[in-house]
Each structure stands twice: as C-alpha cells, then as structure tokens.
Structure 1
Amino acid sequence: MPNPQPLNQTREQITALDKDLLALLAKRRSLSLEVARSKEVDVRPIRDTQREKDLLARLVQQGKAQGLDAHFVLSLYQSIIEDSVLNQQAYLHGRANPDTQKPAYCIAYLGARGSYSYLAATRYCQRRQVEMQDLGCKSFDDIVQAVELGHADYGFLPIENTSSGSINEVYDVLQHTSLSIVGETTIEVGHCLLAKAGTSLSEIKTVYAHPQPISQCSRYLSQHPEFKLEYCSSSAEAMERVTQADDKSVAAIGSVEGGNLYRLEAIEDKLANQKVNQSRFIVVARKAAEVPEQLPAKTTLIMATGQKPGALVEALLILKAQDLNMSKLESRPIPGTPWEEMFYLDIDANLAGDAMQAALKQLERITRFIKVLGCYPSETVKPTQLNNSQLLIEPQSQAEQTTAEPPQTTLLRYSKHYKPEATEISRGPLQLGTGQFAAIAQLKLPIEAAELEQLAKTVKACGFQAMIIDGLSRQSEPSQSLAHIRHRLNQFDLCCILTVEHESELTAASQEADILLLSGKLMFNQALLMRAGSLPIPLILERNALASSEDYLAATETILSQGNQQLILCEAGINTFNNASHPSLDLASVVNLKADSHLPVLVNPSHLVSPQALPAQALAIKRLDADGIILSLDALGGIDKDSLASLAGLVEALYR
C-alpha cells in the first residue's frame, strides 16, 4: 500500500479547490441575474418548479455516478437555488422601483453594530449589492422616527421569532406610523455565550442579554442558576458591556458574527431552546414599493372588525372566497378602547392582483377600520423536493417483490408509515419531539397558594419546563383554583399540565390547562378518549398498568381518529405476572414505541424505582431516546430543600 502524501500538501489542494468552488458559485450567481433580466422582458414567474425538479434529479444522478450521496447533492443545490431566487427577486424589485435605487442606503436598526438587527440589515444590503450606512437606535420608536424624519432610508424591525413568537411592541408601533412595509428578511439566530478571550465557563457570574434571547435560551439558563441575568436594550449593548468590563466574570448572549466585532469568543454555542431558531424582520420606508407580478408577494394589513359576533370569521371568509392564503394572523389591543382589538394579517398575494383588490373592497364594507401596511416580495423560498425514485433509492428485487407481504390499505395514524417525521409539540417552554430532552415535575393537590408559588419558582430554577398537577378533585372550588394554579405556573415560565383522573374533570381541566394528562385508569374508556380526541389541546395518554402494547396503541389510535394530533405517550409501568400488586418500569416498551410511532414518548419512573436507583434509571431512559421524564416530587421525598437540591442535580445531569 503506497504511503499517503504529506498532510500539508493535501490541505493546500483542498484550499485551492475551495477557491475554485467559490469562483464558480460567484459565476453561477451572475448568470442567475441574466435569467432575471430575461424574465423582466418576458414577464415570466421567478420560479419554475418543474425545471427545478428536472435539474435536481439530473444533478443527483450525476452526483451518484461520482460517488456523492443523493441527499448531500439535493441539500447543496436547494441552498444554491434559494440564493438564486432571492437574488433574482432583489434585482427585479429594484428595477420596478428605480426611484429608490441608490449606491448606499442609510439603515436604522435596533442597537449597535453586532446586534441581530444589524446582521439582518447587512444581509439585506449585501443581496442588493449596495453600501450600508448604519444608524443604531435605542428603541423601535426611534427606528420609525428616524425613517419618518428622513434621517434613514429604511428601518429594520424584528417582527417574529420561531422560538419566542411575535414581538408585540413592533405591532403596536405599526398602528401609529405612516411608513410602509417594503421588504422582509429572515436570518438564522445562533445564540452563543460570548466572553473575553481565555475565559472559562466556571468564571462567569453575570450574563448580559436582550429579553428576547433570554426567553429563547431559557432551558440553557435554567441549567445555570448561578448566572445573574442583566437585561439590555440590544445584543450589541450586551456585548459592549462585556468588552468594557474590568474582569472575566461577565458574558453576553449574542451571535458569533457580533462577537467578532467586539473581539469576544464563544465559550458555549447552540443555546436556543429550539434547534431551528430564526428571526423575521420587516423593512419599512416612507414610500410604498411596487412588486412585479412575477414575484411571490405578501400584503400586510391591519383591520378592526368591531365587537359583533362572528365579525372576524366574516372577514376571513372573504379571503377564502377569493382563494387568498392568510399566512399570519395577530391581534393587539387598541389603546383607549377596552376589550377591542386590532388584527394584523399577512396575505400571500400581490396588492395589485384582482383577487386582493376585490377582497379589500369587500373588507372595507364590513370593518370599522382597515389599512394596508405594505406589499413586498416574499422571501420564504420553499425548497423543491424529489421523490424516493428520483433520489435513486433502490427498488426491491423481483424476488423480494413476489414474496413481500401485501401493503396495508389502511395506515395507522400513530405509525411512522403514516407520518415518517417525528411529531413536534410546543407549549410555552415545553418542547417535545424536537430531539431535546424535557424534565417535568409532578405534584399532588391540595397545596396552599403561597406554597405553590414558592415551589414553582424553585422547580423552575431546578431546570424543569412543566409541572403536572394531580388530585384535582381534592381542591375546593376546582374551576377557580385551576385558573390560579395555571397563572402561578405560567408566571414562572412553567407549562401547566392537569391530570384527569375522573371523566367529570375533563371539561373544567381542558379550559384551564396548557396540556391534559389522561390517567392510565381512563385508558379503556372509549367514550372519554373520543371526547378528549376532539379537544384542541395537547394530550398526554398514560398507559394503563394492565394494558398490553396493542391495547395502548389502540387507545392512541382512537384519540388521533377524532382529529387531535397533539398526542404524547407516557410509559408509567406495567403489572407483571410475578408482581401483580406493584407495577414495574417497562423500558422495552419505550424502545418499541420510539421504533413504531412518530409520537413523543415520556417516561414516569417516580413510583416504580427507589430514589437511590432513580439517577441511573433516568440516564437509561434518556439513552433510549425518550423525549422526556416525569419526576414526582411527592414520591421522591417530598418538597423539602434537600430533596429539591438532589433533584436539581439529577436534571442538570440529564441535560448534559
């Protein structure tokens, strides 16, 4: 066997290839702009999905001939196509609005250089190949005022985040401005813990951050109760305060790119609760923009419908009648008008289109107020997909086809054949099915209000995302007390899960819970399962201790068949032949459920193992790819200080 060439020589060859690849990508991008110029003349749609499918199928075949994985080739060219589409859109949008074209734009954004708003504005200008003159602002009102007074050409406002949701302050600002929305952009938000060079995690005592990143990284921060959190007006301010600090005991939450501007290093990364963490920004200007008809467009409007019954439904039916897709609906209170709301709508349509114009005329007749905030190119580029045959997945041989079992005509809804991707359920801080492990505390009523409040605070500090409340029938005035329980748990960013042990509790619990847990004793109650399956609230179905795996999955199918697809499975032990009086943990069931079903799986070992054996069992549960664990505070020694400290250590170990 010949000796390999020197490593340095191999690296030099790779470097040269990377340089050539970048040059080829730049040339391809310039050619895509030539395509845009042709489409400007011929007025053809910006995307031709059939051509994209043919292109991707051909590239996958060529890649396989050279030993490249089909999914790698597909993912690579999906990114290239997205870049091409967005650049063509930017070019055509600029050509349709020549009076806005300048060699440099002055952009008003939140914070200073290095903030996420700054990064979004930079990307927007780079795509349009113009220079950016930045104007950092301290608040959303300052951004709007800078554009209104002519101090800036555009303002960048964060409107929503995939982790923390809508940014309500921006919606409130949009109610009172004459500016128009002329664009949007979405960026990946990679939260890191940034500190001075050479700082170790153990040295950090204080963390500076904007409230949004703190909310989006709550799970990570709960693992570090030793951190003192200091709120800042922007991520840039947080990084600036770390730079100016005299010691290494401080850190900031921000991006790697922002940290580089302040000479800070990332000592921890991927802090966000969700793997996919994106922020969407809108671009506002003094003058509305024209969107060419071949571009996919969004129209954003606000309206007040009045308080008569069915007013909002009546308005939405107009959109349906015109075959218009509403991609977002948000409500905000109208200042000075108690109990009335303003609705914000994003509609996937061009304002100049016949359907949109017809809908606006009809909406004007039935609303008290309506205003178009802007029409702009949509930057949501859905990747073109290929089917399995196009991805060159080898078919069965003829012999295999003749001996194979005939396919089932009816697919079971819980199975991976019915839905290959894992079901994801998000309820406040609790995220299940996302590949991250969740910890849920469990408590039995009754409990005094003050004691519950203190316990919720402590449980949150231990790293839990939710709390299950058992024993609803033991609480006086159930409906009123349940509302108070949920309020106190939500106050400390804990998801409220109420256990239904009796059929009579279902209605009241469903009105106050974030999630319902159906006790295992109700698993064979078909009527109740069907009622629960018709509710629009996530459900946890606990396995009955006497139920076989087939019985359990049959109950699961009953719930799913009624329409509720937000279902979570819970393994809580089975009665074995040798010990019929005391259930034992069935870890084999966890493996089987994860293999056969797309639904999230929780495990509750609290009443099945001793407190001494719990840490080892909990780690085993995590290694079996369960989505989370339920830990009963009552079964594990109560809620005294020592027990909670032990519990915090266990949760911390599970998150590592």
Structure 2
Amino acid sequence: MNKPQPLNHTREQITSLDNELLALLARRRELSLDVARSKEVDVRPIRDTTREKELLSRLVKQGREQGLDAHYVISLYQSIIEDSVLNQQAYLHGRANPETQKQQYCIAYLGARGSYSYLAATRYCDRRQVEMQDLGCQSFDEIVQAVESGHADYGFLPIENTSSGSINEVYDVLQHTSLAIVGETTIEVGHCLLANSGSTINDIKTVYAHPQPISQCSRYLSQHGQFKLEYCSSSAEAMEKVCNANDNSVAAIGSAEGGALYQLEAIESGLANQKINQSRFIVVARKAVEVPSQLPAKCTLIMATGQKPGALVEALLVLKARNLNMSKLESRPIPGTPWEEMFYLDIDANLASEPMQAALKELEKTTRFIKVLGCYPCETVKPTQLSSSQLMIEPNTSKATTVTATAQTKQQRVSKQYKAEPSQVLSGQLCLGAGQIGALSQVQLPIELPQFEQMAKSLKESGFQAVVLQGLSQQSDLINSINHFKNALAQFDLVCILAIEHETDLTIATQFADMVMLSGNLMYNQAILTQLGSLLIPVILERNAMASVDDLLNAAEEVLSQGNQQLALCESGVTTLNNSGKPSLDLAALVELKALSHLPVVVNPSYAIDAEQLPTFARAIKQLKGDGIMMNLSAIESTTQAQSDELVKTVLSNLYH
C-alpha cells in the first residue's frame, strides 16, 4: 500500500486550487458583463433559458465523467447563473439610469452594522461595485426621512419574510411618502443563537432579539421555555447588548456574518421555523428610475377601491384581461376611515409596457385612489431546472385524455364537471398532475441519521423527487430526528412527506412536513379529513384497502370543501375475499378516478406486486395516465443492493420513457 503524501502538502494543493477557482469565477463574471453589453446593443432579454438548460445538461454529463454527481453540479451552477443574471441586470439598469451612477452610495437602513438590513445593503452595493457609506437608523420612519431630506441616496426597507410574512409597518410608511421604489433585493436569513466565546446552550438564560426573528424562530424558542426574551429595535442592537454584557448567560438571535462583527460565536444555528428563510427588501429613492425592456420588471401599486360589493374583484379582472400577473396583494387599513382598506399590489410587468399602461388607465376609472409606487428590476431569479430525461430519464409530455364524468360526481368539487382542467399538486421539485409524473419513495422508520443521509443522496441520484416517511411512532427522539431528516432531504431538494398512520401523528406531521399523506386506514376518519382540509400544505389521500372509488372521492370531497385544493389521491391496492394474502392492485380504479376527477392520482404498487413485475406495472401506470408512482423500497426483496438499484432504475425509466 502506497503511503499517502503529508497532510500539509495536500492542504497546500487544495489552497492553490481554491485560488485558481476564485480567479476563474472572477473571470467568468467579467465575461458575463460582456454578454450584458452585447444584449444592450441587440436589446435581447437577459435570460436565455434554452442556453442555460443546454449548459447545465452538458455540465452534468461532463461532471459524471469526472465522478461528480448531478445534484452537486446543478446546485453549483445554479448559483453561478443567478449571480450572472443579477450582475447583468445591475449593469444594464445602471446604463439606463446614468444619473444614479456614483462611486459611493449613502444608504439608510434599520439598526447598526451587522443587522440584516445592513447585510442586504452591503450586497446591493457590492453587486454594483460601489462603496457604501452606511447610515444606521432606529426606525422605518427615520429611514424614509433620511432619504427624503437628501441625507441618504437610498433607503432599505424590509417588506416581507418567507417565514413571518409581510412587515405591515413598512406598508404603512409607504402610504405617506413621496419616495419611489427603485429596486429590491432578497437575502437568505440564517438565524443563529449568538453568544460570547465559551458560552454553551446550557448557560443561556436571556435572549435579545428583534420581534421579527422572534416570530420566525417561534418553534425553536418554544422548545426552550427557560429563555427570557428581551425585545430590541434591531438584530444589531441585540448583538451589541450581548457583546457589551461580557456575560455567558446572554445570547442574541442574528446572522453568523453579523455576529462576527461583534466577536460573537454561533452556538446554535438553523433556528428559523422554515428551512428556507428569506427576507425581501425594497430600495427607495427620491426619484423613480427607468427599467430597460429586456429586464424582468415589477411594478408596485397602491390603490383604494370603492365601498361596493366586488370592487376589488373588478380591479383584479382588469389585470387578468391584460394577462398581467399579480405576484403580491396586501391590504392595510386607511387611517381615519374605519373599515376601509388600501391595497398594495406587485405586478410582474414593466410600467412602460402597453398592457400595464392600458391597465392603469382602466383602473383610474374604477378606483377611488391609485398611485404607482415604483417600477424596478425583479431580482427573483427562478433556478433553471433540467428535465428528468436530461438528468436520467425521459418525462411524460402526453396530456391526459378527456373522459366524460358520470352523473354520480356531478357538482362535487372532485369532479371534472366542477373543474375541467386537471389539477396540479406542487411542492418543491415534486409536480403531480396535468401531464407531469412524479416519483416518490417510501422509507420506514426507525432509521439512524447517517444511514438516512446516504439513502437521501441515493434516492436523489435514482430520480425520486420526494420521500414519504412512515412509522413516525417508531422513531425515538421524534422531533429532533424529523428535523434532521427534513434537513437531510432539503440538501438534495427532496420533498419531505410525513405519513399520518395514527391520530397522534397528525400534530407532528402538519408541523414539520412539506406535504402529508393520510394512510388508508384513516380514510374514513371525518375529523382528520376536516383538519387536513384546513392545512396550507399539499395532502395525499390513500385509498382504504376495503374502500370503493366512491368512498375515496367522498373523502377527497371533505378535504376540498374545507379549503385545501392541493390534494392528490393514492391507489395502493384493495383487499377482497379472494385474496387473503397480498392486496390486489386496482388499475381499473385508476382509470375510473381519472375519468371522474381532475385530481392527480399516484399509484403505489409495492404492496400488491412482486418486485420483478414492478417495471411492467410502471409502464402500465403511465399508459393509463397515472400521475406518479410511489415505491416502498423496503418491500423490494432483492438478493443484492446492485439488483435493487437496477430494479429501481428500470421502474423509473419505464415510467418516464
């Protein structure tokens, strides 16, 4: 056996490679600006998704040849593409507004250095390669006043968070200012528990934080009832208090990046209720800006409708008639006029476009008040995704055939007469229905975290988009384990679906899952169906092994009637008097369900079909217009892991080819 080279020599080589990578990334960014200059002359759109998909497809193939998995390559280059798009947008926006081009911006933001507002402002300036002169403020009103008076060029105002929702105080401030919204930026909010060096979680008694992080980390804080919460005006103030205290019993909630400015260490991370926790900031200035036509633009309006039935609906129909997408609608009370509200709308359109101008003219006739708060480049860059065929397998692009519904389901929400178009259930990378086929894997708990992490990686590489966790009651330290399992799945963009098999599973499942699946044994439980109907996350409803198709549709009707329209059905097999052993896979029920209902139908053949028959049945599920397949891998009895992997690959290939 050859003796490995000394560790310090290996580290030197890695450092040298890292330096080369940074230089190459910087050079690539420079070339992306050359692309922007070309698009400025040709007036072409910033994004070329066809080119991006071709690039990713080629890189995935080349990466595999060099031992790199597809998920790693795609994640890396999605970040590079996003950076390229945003830099090109910033360049072209600056070229269209030469009066805004300076060597230095004075920016007013909430709090002091280290706050999330400070970090957002810093990244905004870095992208435009300008120096930032920062002006910390104690309130949103103070930020607006600083810009209105000319003491600051721009003001940064947090407008919404993916965890805690809209920030109403900012909407109220916008009602009374002449400033224009000229930009937006979104940052990842990684909440950490920050403390002085040497502190441990057992030492902490007092936590300082801004109200927004406290709301966004409510689940974590509820698990530590011993903490005394102290509210601060900003995250920076919270970190400063801990720094000045020189006391190991105090901590702050903030970012690791901000905490470093105050010599604080993160003793706990990932505190937010949601795995993806982002804050969106708007940028305000004294003068509106022009947005070039090739940039994706967003308009923010404020309007008040008349006090008559359907007034808001009439206004929104004006947008629909001109094919304008409204990405945000927020209402706030009008001071001094009880029971009347002002509406804020974000519309994905350029103010200068013909549809937007026509819509504004029409709205001026039907509203009591309307004002454009700003038109600015949209900085939400939707990641380019490869199709299953580009990753491994070919997607099904066929459209479900239309079958006349029977009178039995007429007028029911589940029926095609109620909704002619097929419904789609979406969660992360999983898409079921309307011609899209999904692949879901079942995993039986209990399981150890290292084994689960390896399994998650393998499932992603095999082509699955979601994992159904069963046996919640069998897992020790359930809450902590589910948190770790969900984080592991999120690393590979796998949707976390928790199976409700007992009534006691409901609370945990609805608290942590991206989706929930109601086991067939609870399909007749009216109370649970009602609760699932009130959820804001998608639901998969499994057919009871003794239930008829009508019974399943009636259960689905109960869920839909409570408001939750993100519902899929699951056929896993039926038990009859003639089959005392395995259940029978009822593909006739699949055909009937597709004929009667617009809801997507997933089929789980694992319990009813022998492993060697799975590839054949996968092809049949596709031909019968099934919307997805669910596989219980533990039910596949193969002599070797290699045989099991090959079987899964064949099943999924047959499903998508």
What TM-score does the superposition give when structure 2 sets the normalisation length?
A: 0.67
Instruction: From the superposition, tell whether residues 238 and 529 of structure 1 become closer, same or farther in structure 2 (CA, over 3 Å).
Output: same
Superposed displacement of residue 47, structure 1? 1.4
Superposed displacement of residue 563, structure 1? 6.6
Structure 2 counterparts to residues 520-535 of structure 1, below 5 A: 528-529=554-555, 531-535=557-561
Superposed displacement of residue 62, structure 1? 2.5
Aligned to 1:78: 78
Distance 1:367 1:558 in 2: 45
Per-residue CA shift, 1:585-632, capped at 9, x if unaligned?
A: xxxxxxxxxx9659xxxxxxxxxxxxxxxxxxxxxxxxxxxxxxxxxx
Distance 1:66 1:314 in 2: 57
Superposed displacement of residue 441, structure 1? 13
Superposed displacement of residue 35, structure 1? 1.3
Superposed displacement of residue 91, structure 1? 0.7
Structure 2 counterparts to residues 285-434 of structure 1, below 5 A: 285-391=285-391, 393=392, 418-420=437-439, 421-422=465-466
Contact 1:536 1:564 in 2 (8 A): no
Superposed displacement of residue 103, structure 1? 0.7
Instruction: From the superposition, tell whether residues 439 and 385 of structure 1 become closer, same or farther in structure 2 (CA, over 3 Å).
Output: closer
Per-residue CA shift, 1:158-194, capped at 9, x if unaligned?
A: 1111111111111111111110000000000000000
Distance 1:276 1:15 in 2: 31
Amino acid at match of 1:202: N
* Aligned partner of residue 208 in structure 1, secondary structure: strand
Amino acid at match of 1:219: R
Contact 2:523 2:552 in 1 (8 A): no
Aligned to 2:444: none
Aligned to 1:146: 146
Superposed displacement of residue 529, structure 1? 2.7
Instruction: From the superposition, tell whether residues 542 and 385 of structure 1 become closer, same or farther in structure 2 (CA, over 3 Å).
Output: closer
Contact 1:530 1:558 in 2 (8 A): no
Amino acid at match of 2:363: L
Superposed displacement of residue 435, structure 1? 4.1
Amino acid at match of 2:561: L
Amino acid at match of 1:366: T
Which range is displaced more, 521-530 or 322-331?
521-530
Contact 1:534 1:563 in 2 (8 A): no
Instruction: From the superposition, tell whether residues 90 and 561 of structure 1 become closer, same or farther in structure 2 (CA, over 3 Å).
Output: farther
Distance 1:552 1:240 in 2: 64
* Aligned partner of residue 8 in structure 1, secondary structure: helix
* Aligned partner of residue 14 in structure 1, secondary structure: helix
Amino acid at match of 2:247: D
Contact 1:515 1:537 in 2 (8 A): no
Contact 2:533 2:561 in 1 (8 A): no
Superposed displacement of residue 127, structure 1? 0.2
Pairing 1:134–2:160 present: no
Aligned to 1:580: none
Instruction: From the superposition, tell whether residues 512 and 339 of structure 1 become closer, same or farther in structure 2 (CA, over 3 Å).
Output: farther
Distance 1:339 1:74 in 2: 50
Superposed displacement of residue 464, structure 1? 11
What TM-score does the superposition give when structure 1 sets the normalisation length?
A: 0.68
Amino acid at match of 2:261: L
Amino acid at match of 2:51: R
Distance 2:55 2:594 in 1: 43
Aligned to 2:229: 229
Aligned to 1:251: 251
Contact 2:387 2:394 in 1 (8 A): no
Superposed displacement of residue 72, structure 1? 2.0
Distance 1:353 1:528 in 2: 47
Instruction: From the superposition, tell whether residues 441 and 57 of structure 1 become closer, same or farther in structure 2 (CA, over 3 Å).
Output: closer
Superposed displacement of residue 141, structure 1? 1.0
Per-residue CA shift, 1:330-359, capped at 9, x if unaligned?
A: 111111112211111111110011111011
Instruction: From the superposition, tell whether residues 438 and 138 of structure 1 become closer, same or farther in structure 2 (CA, over 3 Å).
Output: farther
Aligned to 1:603: none
Superposed displacement of residue 535, structure 1? 2.3
Distance 1:214 1:505 in 2: 31
Instruction: From the superposition, tell whether residues 563 and 329 of structure 1 become closer, same or farther in structure 2 (CA, over 3 Å).
Output: farther
Structure 2 counterparts to residues 105-144 of structure 1, below 5 A: 105-144=105-144
Instruction: From the superposition, tell whether residues 441 and 290 of structure 1 become closer, same or farther in structure 2 (CA, over 3 Å).
Output: farther
Amino acid at match of 2:191: H
Aligned identity (percent) is: 69
Superposed displacement of residue 59, structure 1? 2.2
Gaps of 5+ in 1: 397-406, 425-429, 444-459, 467-498, 568-594, 599-656
Aligned to 1:215: 215
Pairing 1:177–2:177 present: yes
Instruction: From the superposition, tell whether residues 32 and 501 of structure 1 become closer, same or farther in structure 2 (CA, over 3 Å).
Output: closer
Instruction: From the superposition, tell whether residues 551 and 150 of structure 1 become closer, same or farther in structure 2 (CA, over 3 Å).
Output: farther
Distance 1:141 1:558 in 2: 57
Superposed displacement of residue 75, structure 1? 2.0
Distance 1:230 1:224 in 2: 14
Instruction: From the superposition, tell whether residues 214 and 84 of structure 1 become closer, same or farther in structure 2 (CA, over 3 Å).
Output: same
Distance 1:418 1:59 in 2: 25
* Aligned partner of residue 390 in structure 1, secondary structure: helix
Superposed displacement of residue 100, structure 1? 1.3
Contact 1:182 1:283 in 2 (8 A): yes
Aligned to 1:95: 95
RMSD between aligned residues: 4.4
Superposed displacement of residue 60, structure 1? 2.4
Amino acid at match of 1:535: S
* Aligned partner of residue 190 in structure 1, secondary structure: coil
Gaps of 5+ in 2: 403-421, 426-430, 440-464, 469-481, 487-493, 512-521, 576-582, 603-627, 632-657
Distance 1:153 1:215 in 2: 31
Distance 1:188 1:559 in 2: 41
Distance 1:55 1:324 in 2: 31
Distance 1:64 1:516 in 2: 34
Distance 1:170 1:559 in 2: 47
* Aligned partner of residue 385 in structure 1, secondary structure: coil
Distance 1:55 1:126 in 2: 27
Superposed displacement of residue 436, structure 1? 9.3
Contact 2:111 2:236 in 1 (8 A): yes
Amino acid at match of 1:198: G
Contact 1:503 1:528 in 2 (8 A): no
* Aligned partner of residue 331 in structure 2, secondary structure: strand
Instruction: From the superposition, tell whether residues 147 and 560 of structure 1 become closer, same or farther in structure 2 (CA, over 3 Å).
Output: farther
Aligned to 1:63: 63
Superposed displacement of residue 502, structure 1? 9.9
- Counting matched residue pairs gives 504
Distance 2:528 2:51 in 1: 56
* Aligned partner of residue 84 in structure 2, secondary structure: helix
Contact 1:115 1:236 in 2 (8 A): yes
Contact 2:108 2:136 in 1 (8 A): yes
Per-residue CA shift, 1:548-570, capped at 9, x if unaligned?
A: 68899989x97998678999xxx
Instruction: From the superposition, tell whether residues 50 and 394 of structure 1 become closer, same or farther in structure 2 (CA, over 3 Å).
Output: closer
Distance 2:534 2:72 in 1: 46
Distance 1:235 1:351 in 2: 35
Superposed displacement of residue 409, structure 1? 8.7
Superposed displacement of residue 54, structure 1? 2.1
Contact 2:467 2:497 in 1 (8 A): no
Amino acid at match of 1:532: E
